[in-house]
């Protein structure tokens, strides 16, 4: 087992530096707008992956320093504090895929699904294909997140408010820098949409409804560019088993105990993201209504 006690994880620091270099190149380098959008999108997706590392205690043993390293809110709309709180809530594995208690669940209570109008059902069914999740997911997810948080703040939820207040100066700083850079506002919005869409490729199939808790979390045995962009979080079952292990140690840990992990998660396995695209680009992996959820009385 990798040593959990360390002072500095240099590979993660290097990735943080690379992320900001890519982002600054997207803003200021003399490149065509399509290249700007692509570079910004990659940096936004990578920053999300790095923020996930920070939430789990990396790359140093000093929490204040870790959080400072990802302080710039490249997505503008996702506060670090809210990402941290909801993601750590998500790591209560017994709640995985729960429509109410898992903040990252994509399932709905069947009774809620039954009351939705037809147009909403069509959109959510499309969102359950991989193409739909990439294209529609960033908008649907953002609207749902902002609506839920605004409702909670209005109801007096101080935890949610505390997650937003430190975010405002960070978001304003990013907006200001984008405003003075050669990149246009519409190009950065396009990059934000694409960057969040890239992250949706990872989250699309990380979890499934399953009667047994270990069977709810996937492994994607990919070692290509997407795996690097996701900081090996495609080995998601391994991450849930060992959430304090840094990203660059996950592949060796998985390789050493592959059969054990796959036995425990019931073989919820994909060989690569090419396999994922081939299976689910235009086909839903799951129903929108949680297939194992008991109907609740109104």
Q: Is 233 inside a domain boundary?
A: no
DSSP symbol at 286: S
Q: Which of 5-9, 132-136, 168-172 has the lowest mean pLDDT?
A: 5-9
Q: Which of 29-33, 163-167, 292-296 has the lowest mean pLDDT?
A: 292-296
Q: What share of the chain is helix, strand, coil (3-state, %, to 5)?
A: 60, 5, 35
| Segment 210-235 mean pLDDT | 97
Is residue 72, in this structure, part of any structural domain at all?
A: yes
Reported confidence tier of residue 294, pLDDT bands at 50, 70, 90: confident
Question: Looking at the domain assignment, is residue 101 inside a domain?
Answer: yes
Asked if residue 269 is part of any domain, the answer here is no
3-class SS of residue 181? coil
Phi, psi of 157 (to 5 degrees): -75, 100
Q: Label residue 251 by pLDDT band (50, 70, 90).
A: very high
Beta bridge pairs of residue 8: 60
Q: Give the tens place of pLDDT for each residue, 111-135.
A: 999 999 999 999 999 999 999 999 9
Does the structure show a pLDDT above 70 at 296?
no
With cut-offs at 50, 70 and 90, classify the pLDDT of residue 6. low
Domain range for residue 17?
A: 10-207
Separation CA 92–CA 75 (nearest Å): 26
Cβ atoms of 250 and 239 within 8 Å: the answer is: yes
- For 6-10, what is the mean pLDDT? 86
Asked if the structure places residue 231 within a domain, the reply is no
pLDDT for residue 284 is more than 60: yes
SS3 269: strand
The reported pTM is 0.94
Give CA–CA dist 223/192, Å, rounded. 25
Q: Is residue 111 in some structural domain?
A: yes
Average pLDDT, the chain: 95
Q: How confident is the model at residue 215 (pLDDT cuts 50, 70, 90)?
A: very high
Please check whether residue 153 lies inside any domain of the structure. Answer: yes
What percent of the chain has pLDDT above 90?
96
33 in a domain, yes or no?
Answer: yes
What pLDDT score does 2 carry? 42
- When divided into structural domains, the chain yields a total of 1
């Amino acid at each position: 087992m990798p040593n959990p006690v360390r002072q500095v994880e240099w590979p993660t620091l290097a990735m943080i530096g690379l992320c900001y270099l890519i982002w600054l190149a997207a803003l200021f380098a003399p490149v065509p707008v399509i290249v700007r959008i692509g570079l910004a999108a990659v940096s936004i997706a990578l920053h999300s992956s790095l923020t996930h590392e920070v939430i789990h205690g990396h790359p140093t043993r000093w929490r204040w320093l870790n959080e400072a390293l990802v302080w710039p809110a490249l997505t503008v709309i996702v506060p670090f504090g809210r990402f941290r709180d909801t993601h750590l809530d998500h790591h209560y594995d017994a709640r995985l895929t729960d429509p109410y208690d898992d903040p990252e669940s994509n399932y709905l209570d069947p009774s809620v699904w039954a009351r939705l109008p037809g147009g909403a059902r069509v959109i959510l069914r499309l969102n359950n294909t991989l193409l739909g999740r990439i294209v529609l997911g960033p908008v649907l997810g953002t609207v749902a997140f902002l609506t839920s948080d605004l409702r909670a703040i209005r109801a007096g939820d101080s935890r949610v408010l505390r997650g937003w207040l430190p975010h405002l100066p960070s978001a304003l700083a990013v907006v200001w820098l984008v405003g003075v850079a050669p990149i246009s506002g519409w190009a950065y919005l396009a990059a934000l949409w694409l960057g969040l869409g890239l992250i949706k490729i990872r989250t699309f199939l990380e979890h499934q409804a399953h009667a047994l808790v270990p069977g709810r979390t996937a492994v994607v045995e990919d070692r290509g560019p997407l795996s690097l962009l996701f900081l090996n979080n495609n080995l998601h079952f391994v991450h849930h088993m060992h959430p304090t292990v840094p990203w660059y140690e996950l592949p060796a840990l998985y390789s050493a105990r592959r059969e054990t992990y796959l036995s425990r998660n019931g073989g919820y396995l994909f060989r690569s993201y090419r396999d994922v695209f081939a299976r689910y680009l235009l086909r839903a992996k799951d129903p929108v209504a949680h297939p194992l959820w008991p109907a609740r009385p109104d």
